[in-house]
Amino acid sequence: MASLTKNPNVNKWVDEMVALTQPDKVVWIDGSDEQLKALRDEALSTGEMILMNQDEYPGCLYHRTAPNDVARVEDRTFICTKTKEGAGPTNNWMDPDEMWNMLKPMYDGVMKGRTMYVIPYSMGPIGSPLAKVGVEVTDSIYVVLNMDIMTRMGAKAFENLGDTSDDFVRGLHSKADVDPEKRYIVQFPESNTICSINSAYGGNVLLGKKCFALRIASFQGKNEGWMAEHMLILGVQKPDGDVKYITAAFPSACGKTNLAMLIPPKFYTEQGYKVWTVGDDIAWMKPGKDGRLYAINPENGFFGVAPGTNAKSNYNALASTKKNAIFTNVAINKDTMTPWWEGLDKNPPVNAIEWKGAEVNGVEYTAKGEKLAHPNSRFTAPAENCPCISSEFNNPEGVPVTAMIFGGRREKTTPLVYQSFDWVHGTYVGSAVSSETTAAATGAVGVLRHDPMAMKPFIGYNVGDYWAHWLEMGEILGDKAPKIFNVNWFKKDENGNFIWPGFGDNMRVLDWIIKRCEGTVDAVETPIGFVPKPEDINVTGIEDEVTPEIMDKLLDIDVDLWKAEIKEMRRYYDEDIKAKGGHIPQALYDQLDKIEARLNK
């Protein structure tokens, strides 16, 4: 099949990959409905995909991965820069030449007997100055069909690249034998290249997602003066029609998708407040013509965790899955050919097909504590399906960012919300993002896991240089920089009960954040930042739940706990980062000194 581009850089690279992997056939993905329908039909005929109930779930497909291939594999993920220092202490590193010499024999002839699909795609709206082009070659129809949902895929992606540019990200993927012992997800930031082998699962093989949109893009952003962050983007529309855009970063299991698709409480909707989703996972941000920071969602879909998603916990996410979605490793109700997962409802199907393919009585199976759906089972859903998708979703210029939020899961130390004193202090706050472990499966409960900017697995270079880049961006933006906040929805009382209702009621905190950005509400200056006056968090409708006593607990700053926090941050900087080759900007150590001095007063 003829190439879709005249660009010699693309064609040369694809020819090299064809020579290396030796596929029987090469298919360039143009993105046309006819081509995609033929691929879906082929995947259904081979059993790679299963057709869901087309009356209830039109256009929806089901896919099952190998039981050894169900999640991202951080221990098999590498950043290969010329020096180990370039990758820093948060990444696995190998010399690029050494890595390629190890990978090359694995790729040699790996596509014999298979078809190679060449996928051109754009991260970000076609024509956007913030968008970037990738080309992924793969031997998986699953990858093609998912990339169609997750990116702007097809010949039109080449519009952004043109006929001469070499600025595209090369992605080589083969599922090979899906051998976990030979599974590698490798980023070469200095040559804009990603290699993935022996996986056929989601984030390991949809190379536009974490591999490009965060690991490679964070490195590009450092060099080109922009930011690639693991952040949702939402717009809060006020009753007068004005919309304020907020980005937010949270470690996993901290309610990120819920916040991205938040439905405000009745008290707010009755006044005319609305929340619009621009992105649920990744933000690319660049200074605009007016000097403010503008954000796009580089993705075109949602790759969401299914278990726990239901009409109450996240109505909008669930609604997004109802057409043209792909379900991976969930359970199937055999009677209705509809998807099911733990937390969808309280009625597991009697005639169930569990995620590995066995037919079981779902009621008896779950009663024994078995899971019908894999805990990391997924849906890939088009963003356009989301009932609250923003009208600015495809705006090539992006949306102006008023506020940035960091958050984690902390039982005692961190108040419900506080504002940093300035951008440098906010960068420190981001570097200090951490969560206490929740599930026994991850080992001990309550252990602090550091996850700076919620980016620990996704920073494509030295974490200290990444923090320095944040500080540089603050200097570029100056007084037009977004205000930075920290939230904690997970504070508990002495009996271990959560004291903030969370979910839609988080709108009340967003309301305060916006008022702070507008300068219409005052705050209490504390050693750690600006904290709300209790009366300025609107509790209309939840007065019985969030009493004045509870609000005092939510906003309390325990000096002793914070002194311990600062001590832990010094240990983290010194032992986990600096001692292992991370460069820590002096400005962040200065922030530690200042907070400590204020606490000691």
3-class SS string, 513-526: HHHHHHCCCCCEEE
Residue 29 has, within 13 A of its CA and on its CB side, a CA count of: 32
Write out the two tokens for 178: 């899906």
How many other C-beta atoms lie within 10 A of the C-beta of residue 552?
10
CA–CA distance from 478 to each of 250, 404, 422, 424, 475 (Å)? 25, 15, 10, 11, 5
Q: Work out the pLDDT band at 439, boundaries 50, 70, 90.
A: low
Instruction: Measure the CA angle with vertex 81, ends 75 and 86; round to 5°.
Output: 90
| Cβ burial 341-363 (10 Å sphere, 16+ → b, else e) | bbebeeebbeebbbbeeeebebe
pLDDT value at position 229? 98
> CB–CB of 504/263 below 8 Å?
yes
Choosing from 385, 413, 429, the residue where a domain stops is: 385
Specify the 3-state DSSP secondary structure of 382. strand
For residue 453, give the CATH number of its domain: 3.90.228.20
pLDDT value at position 322? 98
Choosing from 333, 350, 385, the residue where a domain stops is: 385
379 in the same domain as 459: no
Alpha carbons 518 and 244: distance in angstroms, whole number: 10
Specify the 3-state DSSP secondary structure of 170. strand
- pTM score, two decimals? 0.98
Q: Helix/strand/coil (H, E, C) string of 202-270? A: HHHHCCHHHHHHHHHHHHHHHHHCCEEECCEEEEEECCCCCEEEEEEECCCCCCHHHHHCCCCCHHHHC
The per-residue pLDDT for range 259-284, each reduced to its tens digit, is 999 999 999 999 999 999 999 999 99
- Percent share of the chain, pLDDT over 90: 97
Q: Which helix (H) or strand (E) holds 403?
A: strand 399-407
234 in the same domain as 219: no
User: 64 in a domain, yes or no?
Assistant: no
Query: Which has the closest alpha carbon to 218: 452, 26, 31?
Result: 452
pLDDT value at position 535? 98
Task: Report residue 455 CA to chain centroid gap.
Answer: 9
pLDDT value at position 441? 45
Q: 454 lies in which domain range?
A: 229-301+391-595
User: CA-CA-CA-CA torsion for 75, 78, 83, 87, nearest 10 degrees?
Assistant: -80
User: 431 in a domain, yes or no?
Assistant: yes
Residue 308 has, within 13 A of its CA and on its CB side, a CA count of: 10
User: 151 in a domain, yes or no?
Assistant: yes
333 phi and psi, to 5 degrees?
-80, 110
For residue 359, give the CATH number of its domain: 2.170.8.10
Residue showing tokens 């990120």: 256
Choosing from 353, 385, 417, the residue where a domain stops is: 385
243 phi and psi, to 5 degrees?
-115, 130
Q: Which helix (H) or strand (E) holds 364?
A: helix 362-367
578 in the same domain as 516: yes
pLDDT value at position 442? 46
For every residue of 106-122, DSSP letters joined together read HHTTTTTTSEEEEEEEE
How many other C-beta atoms lie within 10 A of the C-beta of residue 499?
18
How many structural domains compose the chain? 3
User: 516 in a domain, yes or no?
Assistant: yes
User: 257 in a domain, yes or no?
Assistant: yes
127 in the same domain as 24: yes
> CB–CB of 309/317 below 8 Å?
yes
User: 59 in a domain, yes or no?
Assistant: no
Name the maximum alpha-carbon separation found in the chain. Answer: 73
Across the range 501-509, mean pLDDT stands at 97
Beta strands 77-79 and 184-188, pairing class: parallel
Active-site amino acid positions:
254
Alpha carbons 253 and 259: distance in angstroms, whole number: 12
The per-residue pLDDT for range 547-599, each reduced to its tens digit, is 999 999 999 999 999 999 999 999 999 999 999 999 999 999 999 999 999 99
- Percent share of the chain, pLDDT over 70: 99
Across the range 71-99, mean pLDDT stands at 97
At 127, the amino acid letter reads G
At 567, the amino acid letter reads K
585 in the same domain as 450: yes
140 in the same domain as 38: yes
For every residue of 146-158, DSSP letters joined together read HHHHHSEESGGGH
The per-residue pLDDT for range 1-30, each reduced to its tens digit, is 799 999 999 999 999 999 999 999 999 999
Query: Which has the closest alpha carbon to 100: 210, 168, 191, 8?
Result: 191
338 in the same domain as 355: yes
Write out the two tokens for 597: 């001095």
Beta strands 92-93 and 77-79, pairing class: parallel
The per-residue pLDDT for range 286-334, each reduced to its tens digit, is 999 999 999 999 999 999 999 999 999 999 999 999 999 999 999 999 9
Across the range 405-422, mean pLDDT stands at 97
Q: Work out the pLDDT band at 437, boundaries 50, 70, 90.
A: confident
User: 2 in a domain, yes or no?
Assistant: no
For residue 119, give the CATH number of its domain: 3.40.449.10
pLDDT value at position 446? 77
472 in the same domain as 395: yes
For every residue of 414-454, DSSP letters joined together read S-SEEE-SSHHHHHHHHHT-EEE---GGGSSTT-EEE-GGG
The per-residue pLDDT for range 207-242, each reduced to its tens digit, is 999 999 999 999 999 999 999 999 999 999 999 999
Taken as a whole, the chain contains a residue count of 601
- 400 pLDDT higher than 70: yes
542 phi and psi, to 5 degrees?
-130, 25
219 in the same domain as 143: yes
414 in the same domain as 287: yes
Instruction: Measure the CA angle with vertex 125, ends 123 and 128; round to 5°.
Output: 100
Alpha carbons 52 and 103: distance in angstroms, whole number: 37
> CB–CB of 27/118 below 8 Å?
yes
At 529, the amino acid letter reads G
Write out the two tokens for 292: 């403010």
Alpha carbons 581 and 493: distance in angstroms, whole number: 39
Per DSSP, helices labelled H in 463-547 are 463-477, 507-518
Cβ-based neighbours of 356, under 8 Å, separated by 6 or more: 64, 67
207 in the same domain as 252: no
pLDDT value at position 505? 98
pLDDT value at position 352? 98
pLDDT value at position 443? 58
User: 435 in a domain, yes or no?
Assistant: yes
The per-residue pLDDT for range 117-170, each reduced to its tens digit, is 999 999 999 999 999 999 999 999 999 999 999 999 999 999 999 999 999 999
Cβ-based neighbours of 441, under 8 Å, separated by 6 or more: none
311 in the same domain as 285: no
